[in-house]
Amino acid sequence: MAVRAVRGAVQLDRDEPEHMHEQVSALLTAILERNTLDPDDLISVWFTATPDLHSDFPAVAARKLGITDVPLICAQELDIQGAMPRVVRILAHVETSLSKSDVAHVYLGAAGSLRKDIAQ
């Protein structure tokens, strides 16, 4: 097994806790499914949110999925003029047999335009 980093992002329609939980859960679930991972493969997960999101912590969505024994941390993205609004990003460190080139980075909806070079 190797340690790999998996990236992902989703743009929210609005800054409301339940909407955030739903969208972040969908993103985290897609990351796990597309990389044939389960929560035991997670080492740690970083969540970032753009400065316009402040209704809740994105990590709450992971806890609601039952991911309770994995270190999670939330941080704020840089406030860059012209950046896409209402975006939650994930950087998950995982144990996997996948090679770096086989790791599926997941960008849902409009967030797919953020990293066209690696979005799958």
pLDDT, position 112? 83
pLDDT tens digits, 79-118: 999 999 999 999 999 999 999 999 999 999 888 887 766 6
SS3 for the chain is CEEEEEEEEEECCCCCHHHHHHHHHHHHHHHHHHCCCCHHHEEEEEEEECCCCCCCCCHHHHHHCCCCCCCEEEEECCCCCCCCCCEEEEEEEEEECCCHHHCCEEEEHHHHHCCCCCEC
Average pLDDT of span 60-68: 97
pLDDT, position 114? 79
What CATH architecture applies to the domain 2-115?
2-Layer Sandwich (3.30)
pLDDT tens digits, 18-56: 999 999 999 999 999 999 999 999 999 999 999 999 999
What is the pTM (predicted TM-score) of this model?
Answer: 0.93
